[in-house]
Chain A
Amino acid sequence: MTEIRTTEEFSPQAVTKHRSLWGDVWRQFRKHKGALTGMFVFAFITLAVFIGPYIHNIDPSAIDFKKRNLSPTLSHPLGTDNIGHDTLAQMLAGGQVSLAVGFLAMLIALLLGTMIGILAGFIKSLDGPLMRLTDLFLALPILPLLLVIILLFRDTLRTLYGPEAGIFLLIVFVIGITSWMHTARIVRSDVLGIKEREFVTAAYSIGTRKNRIIFRHILPNILSPIMVSATLGIANAIITESALSFLGLGFPPDFPTWGRLLYDGANFIQITPSRVIWPGLFIALTVLSVNYIGDGLRDALDPRLRGR
């Protein structure tokens, strides 16, 4: 055993340490201070929101009229609102929904965008129609349309899936299908460049089938723009959801999300300004940290910048 180890130590492979692609990316990512901080903040918020309710176990929907509009105390670290809800518990519960909406809507948008981008870049006859479709979606007035769709289909979905799940599905779905366009454009232009490269031709020459070329050869090479647009997608979805809730057309009042809490708190801005500050601060921190992660990822995944 020992003999083998010594020969390994002196062989050239052992001297030059193996460097994987993702190792390189991580090393570059760590150098970006903002991205690293962003990652910690985002991880902290996610953990807090999902583990927090087990530590701070006050029911967010519990009403206690005797304890209205309290300032922070030990049992209510962020105070209470005008009907005695514990603000911290509501913040945690709201964060779960806001993050879930952001994540799921991003997944839908990413899936749609990647699929449309690959199809448009890979199949010539589909390129024109799909890109016209993308342009068309980009020309839609998104926010007014979202408001209209939610207003009109809210009640139908509410009766189908119940008040909370219905609205949740509707909001995730409409945000998802109205924010895939930028991903599709970037993916398409990358696919157009990569499909002409030699390694793809080589794969064709040994008889690789088309779907295998897409999944094995093209998809891994366009992963970096997809990841960057994933981070931007989360940020965008969280902001859109809270904007909708802020306009009073998002989730129902008894169902806390950060945007909804901000909207409800806005009417009590003179009595309890903290009800506006906390949800707003958390929306802002989440979006900021996600944007910084995106910034860092873009630098880390760009081989021309890496290793500088």
Chain B
Amino acid sequence: MINYIIRRLLLAIPTLLVISFIIFAILDLAPNDPTGNLPMTVPPEVREKIRVSLGLDQPMHIRFGMWLNQFFVNEPLNILHEAFGISIGDAEERTRILSWSTRSPVVDLIIQRTPQTLWVVGLSYLFGILIAIPIGIVSAYKQYSWFDQVGTFVSMVGFSVPTFFTGMVAIIIFSVQLKWFPMIYDTTLSVDSWQNFVTQVKQMIMPVSVLALYNASQLSRFMRASILDNLNLDYVRTARAKGRSEKVVLLIHVLRNSLIPVVTLIALGIPTIFSGAIITEQIFRVNGLGQLLIIAIEGADIPLVQTLTFLFAILIVLFNLIADVVYGILDPRIRYD
């Protein structure tokens, strides 16, 4: 097992290197100019100096090396220095990735935006799981019952209808017509009193439930299929023959085994919390990571786009690895050596 994890970790390094190179190359090959947004009065010599100061006169492979060094060595050390006060080397003088449009360190921007994304999108993922598992269990156990039929239809609709439409419909019904919830997510709200807490919950209900339903519809189909696969296996018959009650058979014997693939799926889906946030945050105007990316893309803020995209890539690779390892731990039939 340890061998396997180490092997996978080693394999993840070239994958990440190639991905970071792809992202770097796409942004580099594209025709764009960081001085393009400056006023027309700035003379060409000054523009050239700005470009040199940004390191844009170096050949591509050197800039790629510098970027990697910055991302994997300097920035983590900076975070260590700021968060825990541990300084390795010359902490004050170390360079930081700066956003072109706001001139502030990219890492700080990301740290500012992460809590909103985690709260809204993370919670919706959690609720999605909590809804999906019981629905999956019941509709598999009562296959072809009315509950199953309705559940299957609703989940089919749930994952076919894009969140930007369900979100809009929710806004029309609950904000415009009924005026129950606010239309725009107020991120300046700080929860310091009971009333503010209620407002916070109110504004979170719509985004969280829209996304939770979307996540639940995908997971519940998977959960149902996984339980159906297990229900006809020999060990279930054995458990029944031993005189176990149906509840124990279903909720202990079958559920534990059917959760194995579902848990991996859940782990694989965690990175989509962040990339899925792009659309949800745009609908409800939540200023999380997704919105940061959109703003950066619209403003052609290359360092910020690069860092965010690469962070998403790292998350995907990391959770792929975690999913594989978890599968190996949960299912003793899988042997990696």
Residues of B within 8 A of A (CB-CB), count: 43
**Minimum Cβ distance to chain B for residue A146 (Å):** 10
Q: Which residue of A lies closest to B164 (CB)?
A: A246
A47 within 8 A of B: no
A 121-149 contacts with B by CB, 8 A: 135-136, 139-145, 147-149
- Given A147-B293, A270-B176, A273-B176, is A246 in contact with B275 using a C-beta cutoff of 8 Å? no
- Give the docked Cα–Cα distance between A153 and B30 (Å): 6
Q: Which residue of B lies closest to A287 (CB)?
A: B160
CB–CB A262/B164 < 8 A: yes
- Give the docked Cα–Cα distance between A243 and B279 (Å): 7
A276 within 8 A of B: yes
CB–CB B162/A242 < 8 A: yes
**Minimum Cβ distance to chain A for residue B195 (Å):** 26
CB–CB A140/B22 < 8 A: yes
User: Chain A interface: which size bin?
Assistant: 35 or more
CB–CB A151/B300 < 8 A: yes
Q: Which residue of A lies closest to B18 (CB)?
A: A136
B 133-182 contacts with A by CB, 8 A: 153, 156-157, 159-162, 164-165, 168-169, 171-172, 176
- Given A136-B15, A269-B176, is A144 in contact with B162 using a C-beta cutoff of 8 Å? no
- Give the docked Cα–Cα distance between A242 and B164 (Å): 9
A 271-306 contacts with B by CB, 8 A: 273, 276-277, 280-281, 283-284, 287-288, 291-292, 295
User: Which residues from B are CB-within-8-Å of A277?
Assistant: 169, 172
B322 within 8 A of A: no
Interface centre among A143, A148, A247, A277 (most CB of B within 10 A): A148
A152 within 8 A of B: yes
- Given A148-B27, A152-B30, is A247 in contact with B161 using a C-beta cutoff of 8 Å? no
A 144-182 contacts with B by CB, 8 A: 144-145, 147-149, 151-153, 155-156
- Give the docked Cα–Cα distance between A140 and B309 (Å): 9
- Give the docked Cα–Cα distance between A292 and B152 (Å): 11
**Minimum Cβ distance to chain A for residue B39 (Å):** 20
| Binary flags per residue of A241-257, CB closer than 8 Å to B gives 1, else 0 | 01100111100000000
- Give the docked Cα–Cα distance between A249 and B308 (Å): 18
Stretch of B52-60, B115-123, B249-257, B310-318 lying at the A interface? B310-318
CB–CB A247/B294 < 8 A: yes
B 295-333 contacts with A by CB, 8 A: 297-298, 300, 305, 308-309, 312-313, 316-317, 320
- Give the docked Cα–Cα distance between A188 and B240 (Å): 40
- Give the docked Cα–Cα distance between A38 and B161 (Å): 14
CB–CB B22/A152 < 8 A: no
**Minimum Cβ distance to chain A for residue B168 (Å):** 5
User: Which residues from A are CB-within-8-Å of B160?
Assistant: 235, 284, 287-288, 291
CB–CB A144/B309 < 8 A: yes
B 280-297 contacts with A by CB, 8 A: 282-283, 293-294, 297
**Minimum Cβ distance to chain B for residue A88 (Å):** 19
**Minimum Cβ distance to chain B for residue A195 (Å):** 26
Q: Which residue of A lies closest to B159 (CB)?
A: A291
Q: Which residue of B lies closest to A271 (CB)?
A: B176
B26 within 8 A of A: yes
User: Which residues from B are CB-within-8-Å of A249?
Assistant: 297
B 1-49 contacts with A by CB, 8 A: 15, 18-19, 22-23, 26-27, 30-32
Contacts A/B (CB < 8 Å), 8 sampled: A147-B297, A151-B297, A152-B26, A155-B31, A246-B282, A247-B279, A248-B294, A280-B161
Residues in chain A within 8 A of chain B (CB atoms): 34, 135-136, 139-145, 147-149, 151-153, 155-156, 235, 239, 242-243, 246-249, 262, 266, 269-270, 273, 276-277, 280-281, 283-284, 287-288, 291-292, 295
In the complex, given contacts A148-B297, A291-B160, what are 18 additional A-B residue pairs having Cβ atoms less than 8 angstroms apart?
Answer: A135-B15, A136-B18, A139-B15, A141-B309, A147-B278, A151-B297, A151-B300, A243-B162, A262-B165, A273-B176, A276-B165, A276-B168, A277-B169, A280-B164, A284-B160, A284-B162, A287-B160, A287-B162
